[in-house]
Amino acid sequence: MLKKITAIVSILLISIAFVGCAPKGDPSQVLNNYYDSIKNGDAEGAYNTLASTSQKNFKKDDFTNWINTQNEYSTLKSVKVTKNKDYKSKELDGIVYKNAAEFNVTENTHDNYENKDTPINYKRYVVNDNGQWKVYREKENGKDVLSESIIDLASMYSDGKGKEKDPNKAASILNESVKTNPNYNGTYYALASVYCNLQRYDESINAANKYLNKDKSNEDKSDTYNILGIDYKGKEDYENAKKYFNQSIQLNPNNQYAKTNLQQLTQEEQVSNIFN
């Protein structure tokens, strides 16, 4: 009888632990605190509002660097959060949370590259994380998110939009990104483009080939072959330049840059043959 009572008590305790109670406080306030911290440049404050799973996906140093980098590329002007639904149980990326609140988020950001305001809409969840309301970011690789943001910042210096034009600064930023996240392939394409513009052709070729080492769409390969064509033309290796421009067009017949570059190269060769 005693064993039976003990078993019943144990089942009740397990049930209570599973059902639990929603954390105290307002999940809306937690989410607003997250965005307020970002607007104020308080990366640590924003990080402290994140659920433990999100912190595992996005380490503190990477998150801090991402916030700082993102704030250079775009300015978060205002955020509106609207609750959609409360859940007693919600599965997010394979993890079941006892309590969760779903929100619609509308960001009003100023794109410093394009110099215009841009509204962004998405959903975000606040979850019961060990008895506290915490902000849940989607499943992500924090280092890759940071690398993508660094590419955006480098483009500002490379193109002179939102920053004073400084391609060497762009190359330096991208090289630092490679050191911290060598597996993010998009950085190599960005480096190939920047080095090409700087007429550092051998470095551009090296970066482009690293980018091509992994599977790419035909459009991405086409863009990269076009860069290689420009590189080899800059090195006065016209045979390879023509080869890569043609490969670029074969992979993407709509690549007007490669078509124009090939046409110019052909015309220059024709003029050269006339005078020689």
Going by CATH, does the domain composed of 143-271 fall within 1.25.40.10?
yes
pLDDT in tens, 134-182: 999 999 999 999 999 999 999 999 999 999 999 999 999 999 999 999 9
User: What CATH code is assigned to 20-140?
Assistant: 3.10.450.100
Residues 6+ apart with CB under 8 A from 265: 229, 233, 238, 241, 242, 245
**CA–CA separation, 64 vs 42, rounded Å?**
9
Q: Which pLDDT belongs to residue 209?
A: 97
Which pLDDT value is given to residue 269? 78
User: Is the confidence at residue 6, as pLDDT, over 70?
Assistant: no
- Over residues 15-37, the mean pLDDT reads 79
For residue 78, pLDDT beyond 50: yes
CA distance 19 to 245: 63
Query: Is 190 strand, coil or helix?
Result: helix
Query: Helix 218-234 to helix 186-197 angle, to the nearest 10 degrees?
Result: 30
Q: Flag whether pLDDT at 37 surpasses 60.
A: yes
**CA distances in angstroms from 254 to 207, 229, 232, listed in the order given:** 24, 16, 22
Q: Which pLDDT band holds residue 98 (cuts at 50, 70, 90)? A: very high
Average pLDDT in the chain: 91
Mind listing the pLDDT tens digit for each residue in 194-237? Answer: 999 999 999 999 999 999 998 789 999 999 999 999 999 999 99
Its sign, for the CA torsion 251, 253, 254, 259, is positive
Q: Does residue 64 have a pLDDT over 70?
A: yes
pLDDT over 90 percentage in the chain = 87
Task: State pLDDT tens for residues 100-133.
Answer: 999 999 999 999 999 999 999 999 999 999 999 9
Domain ranges of the chain: 20-140, 143-271
What pTM was computed for the model? 0.87
Query: In the prediction, which pLDDT does 273 show?
Result: 66
CB atoms within 10 A of CB 146: 26
In a 3-state reduction of DSSP, which class is residue 123? strand
Residues 6+ apart with CB under 8 A from 70: 149
**Worst-scoring range by mean pLDDT, 4-8, 29-33, 123-127, 265-269?**
4-8
Percent of the chain with pLDDT over 70: 91
- Mapped onto helix, strand or coil, the DSSP state of residue 117 is strand
Strands (E) in 29-182, as ranges, are 74-87, 90-92, 95-97, 100-111, 116-129, 132-136
